[in-house]
Chain A
Amino acid sequence: MRKRVVAVLAAALIGLTACSGGGDSGGGQPAEGSRSISIGTPVDLDSFDPNVVPTGVGNMLKQQVIETLMTPDRQPLLAESWERLDDDQTWEFTLREGVKFTNGDDFNAETAKWSIERIMDENSENSSLASSFRNAVESVTAVDDHTLQIKTKGVIPDFLDIMPESYMLTPAVDELANFGQEVIGTGAYQLDSWSQDEKLTLVANESYWGDAPYFDEVVVRPIPESSVRATELRSGGVDVILGVAPQDFSVIDGGDTKLVDQLSVQSLRIHMNAGVAPFDDVRVRQAMNYGMDRETILATVLEGRGELMSQPAGPTIFGFNPDIDPYPYDPAKAAELLAEAGYSPENPAKVELQLQQDRFPGVQAVADAMVAQLNEVGFEVTATMNSSATFLSNFNTVGNGFMVISQEDNVTDLMPSNFSSLEDSYKRYNYANPEVDALIAAAQSEPDDAKREGIYQELNQLLHDDAPWVFMWNPMDAYGINTAVTGFAPDGVGFFYFRDLAGA
């Protein structure tokens, strides 16, 4: 009986693999002589189309195939050089020559112009990308085959902030049956096959203008469960994993695998609704900052992996002010400020905090510690965990405090939408300070880099003091790699080029 059961089971398995099409082995067996690497990610890409809101790994994956005028760290890519012309409003880009798309189309100033205008298209769903270009770009001109001029709307000294997202496409993408699931680019890799939520296979682009990458094939596998990702890395199923949870650190560090750390440009902060009591009073907002022992929470819940924030800008952002210290933990001072603002144990400052579950590992433990400490100093805090969808739609409508972990890797993204009352933005949470508005406006029109940096530093000091946020910390991103992999150096937004990876 038993034997027969095993035989039936084996037959069933073989039959099933036959109908599943055979070939798609989870490990992605490379052809003989070719070099393959596989990467485990928490989520899949949704679409290669830059005009669709990207997932957490969307921009990174897209840019292996679709190139931009400059790299995320502002190095030349499809633009070899650029300069600001004398009117301070026109930027001239000299484009790389001899670049071809994988369908054979030439990359030139006309395609670049078309691509930038496509990003600004009124039907774009990626509103944050589209509006950052729409707000800045007045017109785009192809001067000659390899010279592109962009005229900005007024003087915008920080204009280059948006250029790392200048995705260069060919008009031929419009003829694809479903652009987004298919793609044409100039990158070191091109799309080979993609089965959503299962496996994305990229192969080296043989006509790439730059050096050929070390790996001929890159397999990207979404593995949602973090501990399973860690196991896949340890057992050799994948060579690199993104997003390592704290409980897996010790498992990954040692043997054939190691942990790679990178301070994230993301920041964890609490936006406080400055339009309503109790947060309409700056003393209460400061008391929130003094009233929790962020250093201990960071050390105990996240093993100290992160750096305390002192101001809106992170250390790598233009205008970061190195002279500002983080708010110290001072419960007495917090209680005093609350008392000054007219709150007492009988009449506590009520805080309804909205949190997003699973946003980062340990969010519940952080919330518990925070609530306990704030209640000690005279707040009355209720914390609500939300799913990501509820979280977003509750913004500005439910509660008065909103714990956000967000990513602004340049000062243009960071300042106006978070703090300027002249902007039509959800993120601002009713914060309005004429002094802040004036400083933002002054910085945005100051062409001199040194002077502009000075204004941003002043702004950071002002925002530290006026405390529209509870400044928590910049977290540390954790990656796991096989020790045989070299050249893996993600930046603070988790970006890296697959073409930089090599094997030992």
Chain B
Amino acid sequence: MLNFLLRRLGFGLIVLLLVTFFAFILVYLTGDPAVTLAGMDASPADVERIRAAYGLDQPLFVQYLQFLGNALQGDLGTSFRTKAPVGPLVLERLFITLQLVLVSMVISLGVGIPLGVLAATSRSRVLKSLVTGFSVLTVSTPAFWAGLILILVFADQLRLLPASGRGGPESFILPAITLSLYTVGLIIRLVRRSLSDELGSQYVLTGAAKGLARPRIVLRHALRNALIPTVTVVGLQLGYVVGGSIVVESIFAWPGIGSLMINSINTTDMPVVRAIVLVAGAAFVIINLLVDLSYAWLDPKVKIE
């Protein structure tokens, strides 16, 4: 167990090293940061002065090592844009995004699991096709389109919900639904497939033969087992949901890590971009690890070595 953990953490570190290195190079591909920082009116001399002031005149390799050294000491640098320390800024925005992600996960599970169960157990073919159709629709609807349509309907026409911004509980509804669309569809399919498999298995037949009520068999026994793969996928999906929040946040003017990322790229605020990549990379690594561990915990047959 300990061996496994150490090995996975070691791999995680390598992944993070690679991810931050690529983030470093990719930022340069979008243009010379000194030129962007200096602005359109700057003379070549101004550009050189800014390059030196931000340490951008150092070789890329040196800059990267400096970044790594500081990051190891917990210092992610200072934002070019706001002159504020990057670490607290990124964590604050990450927290705002996680609130949204959490609500969207609650919606995904709350809608996805019951519908998945319905699709797996219902005897009505119409109902089954309706649910399947719904899951295909939600999986394949692009978030930016769905978001705008939801805004048009609920904010513009019905005036029920705010169109954008972060405020009271009502302000979570539209962005969280938009963010949950893909995962809802995914969960419906997963639950439907794995529950159907479970329902065909020996222990379900045994239960039925013993005279257990059908709802009890489905919910207490089969669903529990069917949820194991769902948990795995949902956990892995969590990282992608954070990524998807970039689109959703810019539509709904949600001040989370996604909008911070976009604004930082647009203003060539490299310390912030790097920190977000580092934090997001670390989150992926940790989530993956937790998913692996939870799998073993949910299913005693799985042994971790």
**A contact set with B: CB distance below 8 Å:** 1-2, 5-6, 8-10, 12-14, 16-17, 19-20, 24-27, 43-44, 46-47, 52-53, 55, 123, 125-128, 131, 178, 180-181, 195-199, 221-225, 227-228, 231-232, 234-237, 387-395, 404, 406, 417, 423-427
Any A CB within 8 A of the CB of B35? yes
The residue of chain B having its C-beta at the shortest distance from the C-beta of A394 within the complex is: B31
Residues in B whose Cβ lies below 8 Å from that of A125: 37-38, 50, 53
Interface membership of B208, Cβ < 8 A:
no
Q: Which of A52, A127, A198, A392 contacts B43 (CB 8 A)?
A: A127
B38, B99, B253, B255 — which one has the most chain A CB atoms within 10 A of its CB? B253
Q: Which of A1, A10, A423 has the most CB of B within 10 A?
A: A1
| Contact assessment for B167 and A26 in the assembled complex, using a CB-CB cutoff below 8 Å | yes
19 chain-A/chain-B pairs, Cβ below 8 angstroms: A24-B166, A26-B166, A27-B165, A47-B81, A127-B50, A131-B43, A180-B82, A195-B255, A223-B165, A227-B151, A228-B252, A235-B156, A237-B155, A387-B266, A389-B268, A393-B36, A417-B41, A425-B41, A425-B43
**In the complex, which residues of chain A have a beta carbon less than 8 angstroms from the beta carbon of B35?**
392-393, 395
Q: How large is the interface on B (under 10, 10 to 19, 20 to 34, 35 or more residues)?
A: 35 or more
Q: Other CB < 8 Å A-B pairs besides A20-B166, A46-B82, A231-B163, 9 of them? A: A13-B172, A16-B102, A26-B168, A27-B167, A53-B39, A126-B39, A231-B155, A234-B156, A427-B40
Q: Confirm or deny: B59 has a beta carbon within 8 angstroms of a beta carbon on chain A.
A: no
In the complex the two chains form, what is the Cα distance from A253 to B109 in whole Å?
Answer: 42
- Decide: A225 near B172, CB < 8 A? Known: A180-B83, A388-B36, A389-B268: no
B159 an interface residue at 8 Å Cβ cutoff?
yes
Q: Which of B219-259 contact A (CB under 8 A)?
A: 250-253, 255, 259
Complex contact B44–A424 (CB within 8 A): yes
Q: Across the interface, which residues of A come within 8 angstroms of B251, CB to CB?
A: 225, 228
Instruction: Give the residue name and chain of the B residue nearest to A408 (CB).
Output: B41
| Contact across chains for A387 and B31 when beta carbons are under 8 A apart | yes
Known: A27-B167, A235-B163. A392 touches B114 (CB 8 A): no
Given contacts A16-B99, A237-B162, contact A426 B155 (CB under 8 A): no
Interface residue B18 (Cβ < 8 Å from any Cβ of A):
no
- Taking a contact as CB atoms under 8 Å apart, the answer to whether A25 and B41 are in contact is no
B110 at the interface (CB under 8 A from A): yes
B103 interface residue per 8 A CB criterion: yes
Contact status of A8 and B106, CB under 8 A, knowing A19-B99, A231-B152: yes
With an 8 A cutoff between CB atoms, is B60 at the interface?
no
Q: Is the CB of B43 within 8 A of A406?
A: no
Q: Are B255 and A12 in contact (CB under 8 A)?
A: no
Kindly identify which residue among B36, B39, B46, B164 contacts A237, using a CB–CB cutoff of 8 Å.
B164
CB-nearest residue of chain B to A20? B99
Shortest distance in angstroms between A124's beta carbon and chain B's nearest beta carbon? 10
Q: Which residues of A contact B266 (CB under 8 A)?
A: 387-389
**Is B191 interfacial (CB-CB < 8 Å)?**
no
In the complex, what residues of A have CB within 8 A of residue B45's CB? 424
A9 close to B37 (CB less than 8 A): no
Q: With A and B bound together, what is the CA distance between A390 and B26 in angstroms?
A: 12
Q: A197-B263, A198-B255 are in contact. Are A25 and B82 (CB under 8 A)?
A: no
Q: Could you say which of B35, B49, B265 has the most chain A C-beta atoms within 10 Å of its C-beta? A: B35
Docked complex Cα distance between A2 and B151 (Å):
25
Q: Determine if B167 and A25 form an interchain contact, defined as CB atoms under 8 angstroms apart.
A: yes
**Minimum Cβ distance to chain A for residue B110 (Å):** 4
User: Does B31 lie within 8 Å of A389, measured CB to CB?
Assistant: yes
Contact A128 B31 (CB under 8 A): no
B171 contacts the other chain (CB 8 A): yes
B18-43 vs A, Cβ < 8 Å mask (1 yes, 0 no): 00000000000011110111111111
* A235-B159 contact in complex given A25-B167, A390-B31, A426-B43, C-beta closer than 8 Å: yes
Contact B250–A406 (Cβ < 8 Å): no
Q: CA A114 – CA B56 in complex, angstroms?
A: 30
What residues of chain B lie closer than 8 Å to A236, measured between beta carbons?
159
- With a cutoff of 8 Å between Cβ atoms, the chain A residues found around residue B49 in the complex are 127
B155 touches A46 (CB 8 A): no
Known: A5-B114, A20-B166, A221-B165. A426 touches B40 (CB 8 A): yes
A43 contact set on B, CB distance < 8 A: 263
Beta-carbon contact of A426 and B166 below 8 Å: no
Q: At the interface, yes or no: B148 with Cβ under 8 Å from chain A?
A: yes
Nearest Cβ on chain B to A109's Cβ, whole angstroms: 29
- Structural contact, A223 and B164, CB atoms closer than 8 A: yes
Q: What's the least CB distance linking A116 to chain B, in Å?
A: 19
By beta carbon, the residue of chain B nearest A225 is B251
Chain B residues within 8 Å of A389, by CB: 30-31, 33, 36, 265-266, 268
**Given A232-B163, A235-B155, A392-B31; A197-B255 close (CB under 8 Å):** yes
A123 to B106, CA, bound (A): 50
Contact call B114/A406, Cβ cutoff below 8 A: no
CB distance from A444 to the nearest CB of B (A): 18
In the assembled complex, B267 has its CB within 8 A of some CB on chain A: yes
Contact of A26 among B37, B156, B162, B259 (CB under 8 A): B162
**B187 beta carbon closer than 8 Å to chain A:** no
For residue B211, CB closer than 8 A to chain A, the reply is: no
Q: A9-B106, A237-B162 are in contact. Are A392 and B99 (CB under 8 A)?
A: no
Given contacts A46-B81, A390-B30, A392-B35, contact A127 B42 (CB under 8 A): yes
**A9 CA to B170 CA, complexed, in Å:** 12
Tell me, in angstroms, the Cα distance from A425 to B38 when the chains sit together: 12
User: Which B-chain residue is minimally distant from A11 (CB atoms)?
Assistant: B106
Residues of A within 8 A of B268 (CB): 389
CA A199 – CA B96 in complex, angstroms? 14
User: Chain A residues with Cβ under 8 A from B265's Cβ?
Assistant: 389
CB of B200 within 8 Å of the partner chain? no
- Specify which chain A residues have a CB less than 8 angstroms from the CB of B39 in the assembled complex: 53, 126-128, 392
Indicate if B94 sits at the interface (CB-CB under 8 A): no
Q: Give the residues in chain A near B99, CB-CB below 8 Å.
A: 16, 19-20
Most chain B C-beta atoms within 10 Å of own C-beta, residue among A12, A47, A221, A237: A12
CB-based contact B259/A24 at 8 Å: no
Q: Please, which residue of chain A has its CB at the minimum distance from the CB of B110?
A: A5
Interface pair A47/B83, CB less than 8 Å apart? yes
Q: B148 contacts A227, CB within 8 Å?
A: yes
Inside 8 A of A425's CB, which chain B residues have their CB?
41, 43
**A16:B260 contact, CB within 8 angstroms:** no
Q: Are B84 and A228 in contact (CB under 8 A)?
A: no
Please measure, in the bound complex, the distance between the C-alpha atom of A12 and the C-alpha atom of B99, giving whole angstroms.
Answer: 10
Shortest distance between the CB of B267 and any CB in chain A (Å): 7
